[in-house]
Each structure stands twice: as C-alpha cells, then as structure tokens.
C-alpha cells in the first residue's frame, strides 16, 4: 500500500460500519487523517480511535447537524446509506423521503460544503458510494434504486464543475458486499421465505453475479483509495463496478 495520502484529510460518512469502516482503515493506511462521520456514536468513536482519526456523531438527515462537520477536507467519501424493501404500492412515503434525504440530499450538501476548500487548494477527490443499483434496478427497492441513480447524476455534475479546479468525482458501484446491511437482508429474506441464509445467498443475492461469492469491504475500499491516488487524476465522472460481473450480463 502506498502512502499517497500523507498530509491529506478525508471525511467518510457511515464510517463506523461495513464499507465505510473499510474506507476509514484504507485511507488512514494510505496516510490520510480521517474524519469518521456516523449516527452510531460508539461505532464512530471506535473507528476513529483505531486509526487516530476524529469521530463526528451526526445524523446526516439533519442539515443543522451536517453543518457542524469539517468543510476543509481533501477527500470526501459519501458512503452512508440504508435499505428498505417493499413493493411500490406499500412503500411508506416517509421512508422513501428519508432515504432520499440520507443518500441524495446529504451527499449534495456535503459536496457543496467541501468544494470551496478543494477549489482553493486546486485538488480534491469525491467518491460516491453508489451500487449496482445505481446502474440497474431490482423490484421492491424503489427508494434505494431512485437514490443511487440520483447520486450517479450528482457525481457527474460535480465531475464537470470540479474538473478545472483539480477535483475529480466518481461513483463506486459494488454488488453485494459482506456487511451488516447485507447480513440483515439475507436473514430477513430467509425468515420471510422459510429457506436457509445459504439459499438466499446463492439463489437471490448472487444470482446475477458471474463470480459467486460476496465482495469484501476491503475490495471496495482499495478502489476508493486508488481513486485518490497518483494514477487516477484523469478518471472523473465515471462509475466503477466492483460487482463480480453483475453488470456485464
Ligand atoms: P452498513 O449498514 O454496514 O453501514 C452504514 C453506516 O451508515 C452505518 O454505520 C450507519 O450507522 C450509518 N448511517 C446510517 N444512517 C445514518 C445517518 N442518518 N447519519 C449518519 N450515518 C448513518 O452499510 P454498508 O453495507 O457498509 O453500506 C455502505 C454504503 O455502501 C451504502 O451507501 C450502501 O448503499 C452501499 N452499498 C452497499 C452494498 C452492500 O452489499 N453492502 C452494495 C452496494 C452499495
């Protein structure tokens, strides 16, 4: 692992768990000082303690709380997200609005907040944690698919505006990653259909992937660090699948 990010500062939302935690670790390993943002206080503190970073216990759906976060960072990783699975006629409108607030409005507010310092420095890296569901739809995930598709658009606009200021913006698009978010989905579907978690994994989650195993959080975090590294300056406005071939099919 290179120390490309020595002297740089990064902010990772949802940094207390799963992919965000892996990003916190990988960015710190690459030399960055990391701000760990999460609504789950103990998880944020533990992650920050582990890497010598700083925890910020913030609910990103509250713009007033979000406005307390540091704005002078070199790397912004918009990662926090949640899932809700329900058919459209039954999808709770307030849950839909909450998911757009967390997964679209908060990234917009953070990008808006962090760009001035990046522009002043002439360098910045925005990485938006999208999903295969930013590129493809699945039934029963209306809010999540809508939010990830919106994040794709936001990321491209940031790429176009940031280009002349040395700022890149990209999406990373994982398939199913072994995290608490996915463990919860596996168990919920196993309970609902009266099958084993292994059946759900093979017949539902990995059905569309060519490589029949879950992706590890560190696989995704490695790509995030690479996007911030010395060879990625020309890569912007892109969406990079880490999906075991899902979107190739
Ligand atoms: P996770 O549940 O392990 O972690 C999400 C983190 O976000 C948690 O620590 C949680 O406390 C935090 N969070 C939730 N609501 C928040 C709020 N209101 N304010 C601040 N923090 C909040 O999830 P994960 O699987 O690591 O997912 C991280 C991102 O990766 C999400 O955007 C998700 O959509 C995306 N993603 C995940 C997968 C996967 O298979 N796990 C696949 C593709 C994309």
Measure the CA–CA gap between 21 and 181, rounded to whole angstroms: 13
Residue 2: predicted pLDDT: 75
Q: Name the residue at shortest CA distance from atom 34 of ligand 1.
A: 81
Q: Per residue in 70-80, pLDDT tens?
A: 999 999 999 99
Domain ranges of the chain: 9-175+216-241, 179-214
Taking the centre of ligand 1 as the mean of its atom positions, its distance from the CA of residue 82, in whole angstroms, is 5
Distance of CA 99 to the CA centre of its chain: 14
Q: What pLDDT score does 185 carry? A: 86
Digit-coded pLDDT (tens) for 85-127: 999 999 999 999 999 999 999 999 999 999 999 999 999 999 9
Alpha-carbon distance of 114 to 63, in angstroms, equals 14
Say what the pLDDT of residue 224 is.
98
Tokens in use for 201?
Answer: 């994994």
Question: Which residue's entry shows tokens 């953070």?
Answer: 110
Q: How far is the CA of 181 from the centre of ligand 1 (A)?
A: 7
**Which residues of the chain, if any, have pLDDT below 50?**
none
Determine the residue of 24, 82, 137, 211 to mutate for testing ligand 1's pocket, defined as the one with the most ligand atoms within 8 A of the Cβ atom: 82
Q: Which of 80, 174, 177 to mutate to test the pocket of ligand 1 (most atoms within 8 A of CB)?
A: 80
Q: Provide φ and ψ at 82, rounded to 5°.
A: -135, 170
Cα 87-135-38 angle, rounded to 5 deg: 75
Taking the centre of ligand 1 as the mean of its atom positions, its distance from the CA of residue 164, in whole angstroms, is: 31
The structure's pTM equals: 0.97
| Residue to mutate (ligand 1; options 16, 17, 240; most atoms within 8 A of CB) | 17
Rounded CA-CA distance 60/66 in Å is 6
| Protein residue whose Cα sits closest to atom 24 of ligand 1 | 18
Contact of 32 with 10, CB cutoff 8 Å: yes
Determine the distance separating the centroid of ligand 1 and the alpha carbon of 79, expressed in angstroms. Answer: 6
Q: What does the H/E/C string look like for 107-166?
A: HHHHHHHHHHHHHHHCCEEEEEECCHHHCCCCCCCHHHHHHHHHHHHHHHHHHHHHHHHC
User: Which helix (H) or strand (E) element contains residue 3?
Assistant: none
Q: Which residues line ligand 1 (CB under 6 A)?
A: 14, 16-20, 38-40, 43, 58-61, 79-82, 102, 129, 131, 174, 176-177, 179-182
CATH of 9-175+216-241, one of 3.55.30.10, 3.40.50.720, 3.30.565.10, 3.20.20.70: 3.40.50.720
d(CA 172, CA 152): 10
Atom number, ligand 1, closest to the C-alpha of residue 130: 44
Q: Do 214 and 112 contact (CB within 8 A), yes or no? A: no
CA of 120 from ligand 1 middle (Å) equals: 30
3-state secondary structure of 13: strand
Active site residues: 144
């Amino acid at each position: 692992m290179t120390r490309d990010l020595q002297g740089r500062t990064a902010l990772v939302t949802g940094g207390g768990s799963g992919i965000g935690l892996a990003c916190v670790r990988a960015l710190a390993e690459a030399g960055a000082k990391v701000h760990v943002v999460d609504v789950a206080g103990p998880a944020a503190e533990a992650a920050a303690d582990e890497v010598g970073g700083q925890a910020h216990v913030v609910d990103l759906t509250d713009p007033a709380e979000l406005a307390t976060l540091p704005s002078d960072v070199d790397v912004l990783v918009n990662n926090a997200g949640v899932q809700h699975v329900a058919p459209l006629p039954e999808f709770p409108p307030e849950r839909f609005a909450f998911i757009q607030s967390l997964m679209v409005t908060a990234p917009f507010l953070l990008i808006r907040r962090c760009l001035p310092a990046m522009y002043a420095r002439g360098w910045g890296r925005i990485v938006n944690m999208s999903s295969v569901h930013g590129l493809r739809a699945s039934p029963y995930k209306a809010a999540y698919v809508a939010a990830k598709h919106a994040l794709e658009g936001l990321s491209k606009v940031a790429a176009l505006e940031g280009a002349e200021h040395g700022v890149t913006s990209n999406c990373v698009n994982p398939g199913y990653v072994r995290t608490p978010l996915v463990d919860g989905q596996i168990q919920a579907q196993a309970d609902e259909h009266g099958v084993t978690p292994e059946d759900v994994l093979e017949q539902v989650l990995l059905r569309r992937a060519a490589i029949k195993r879950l992706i590890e959080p560190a696989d995704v975090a490695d790509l995030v660090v690479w996007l911030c590294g010395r060879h990625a300056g020309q890569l912007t406005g892109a969406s990079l699948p880490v999906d075991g071939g899902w979107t190739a099919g």
